[in-house]
């Protein structure tokens, strides 16, 4: 039946999401499901599969380069790395590659978490568009999105979703690079404190992104109240 098929699609996508953090294989499932629609509608899903793989390349490549002893200067306090050691002792090249390393990791983690929240909705959107047919879809951004939208907004996943992830990632990066300087890999307490600050920054940035994506709806609610 159609209900069993829908449930099977959702479970299959979540199964690949749960076991495929590194390769984001659930987007291959969503891309295949999107091909039920007319030509070109799977491009948005395929893009979301490619972007975290690029982030993985930044993470793995940057990590391998930074771990080479010939590319870094030993930290005077004996720690593997700290804020002061990174920005006062290491070269500008090392700082940039070290930052790219963690920016890549943060992009992957942020997208993986946000994907998990939205997978069921994307499968439903694909199924609804497939059943209704293209003639009943009037929103041009949804046509361009591969019939999937970002964070339940009216906007395409093709642009709005990566932009949201980049915005959240920016605040995460600013937190450990500028706002919170008292962290060191030799101190579990400072890393825990940094982790909480990163989480707060990520949630705050995500709320800001949601307000922007849904600004028209929020504006209507405020006006009515």
Paired residues of 184 in beta bridges: 82
pLDDT at position 221: 56
Which SS3 state, helix, strand or coil, does residue 174 take?
Answer: helix
Cα 55 versus chain centre, distance: 10
CA angle at 56 for the pair 52 and 62, rounded to the nearest 5°? 140
What is the structure's pLDDT at 1? 56
Phi and psi at residue 39, in whole multiples of 5°? -60, 145
Per-chain mean pLDDT for the chain: 86
Q: Which two tokens mark 221?
A: 């609610």
126 pLDDT tier (thresholds 50, 70, 90): confident
Of all residues in the chain, the percent with pLDDT exceeding 90 is: 64
Residue 38 DSSP class: S
What is the pTM (predicted TM-score) of this model?
0.88
Res. 128 pLDDT band, cuts 50 70 90: confident
Give the pLDDT confidence of 56-106 residue by residue, as tens digits: 999 999 999 999 989 999 999 899 999 999 999 999 999 999 999 999 999
pLDDT at position 222 is 53
pLDDT on residue 223? 55
In this structure, of 53-57, 102-106, 210-214, 217-221, the range with the lowest mean pLDDT score is: 217-221
The answer to whether residues 49 and 24 touch, using CB atoms and an 8 Å cutoff, is yes
Give residue for tokens 């990066």.
Answer: 173
């Amino acid at each position: 039946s159609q209900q069993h098929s829908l449930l099977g699609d959702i479970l299959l996508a979540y199964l690949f999401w749960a076991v495929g953090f590194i390769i984001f294989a659930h987007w291959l499932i969503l891309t295949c499901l999107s091909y039920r629609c007319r030509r070109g509608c799977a491009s948005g899903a395929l893009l979301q599969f490619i972007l975290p793989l690029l982030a993985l390349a930044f993470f793995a490549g940057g990590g391998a380069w930074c771990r080479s002893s010939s590319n870094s200067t030993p930290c005077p306090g004996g720690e593997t790395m700290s804020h002061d050691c990174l920005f006062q002792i290491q070269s500008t090249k090392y700082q940039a590659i070290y930052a790219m390393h963690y920016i890549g990791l943060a992009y992957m983690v942020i997208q993986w978490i946000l994907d998990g929240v939205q997978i069921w909705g994307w499968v439903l959107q694909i199924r609804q568009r497939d059943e209704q047919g293209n003639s009943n879809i009037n929103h041009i951004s949804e046509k361009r999105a591969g019939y999937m939208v970002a964070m339940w907004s009216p906007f395409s996943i093709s642009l709005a979703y990566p932009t949201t992830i980049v915005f959240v990632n920016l605040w995460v990066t600013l937190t450990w690079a500028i706002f919170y300087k008292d962290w060191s890999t030799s101190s579990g307490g400072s890393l825990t404190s940094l982790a909480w600050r990163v989480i707060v920054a990520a949630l705050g940035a995500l709320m800001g992104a949601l307000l922007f994506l849904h600004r028209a709806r929020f504006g209507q609610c405020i006006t009515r109240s």
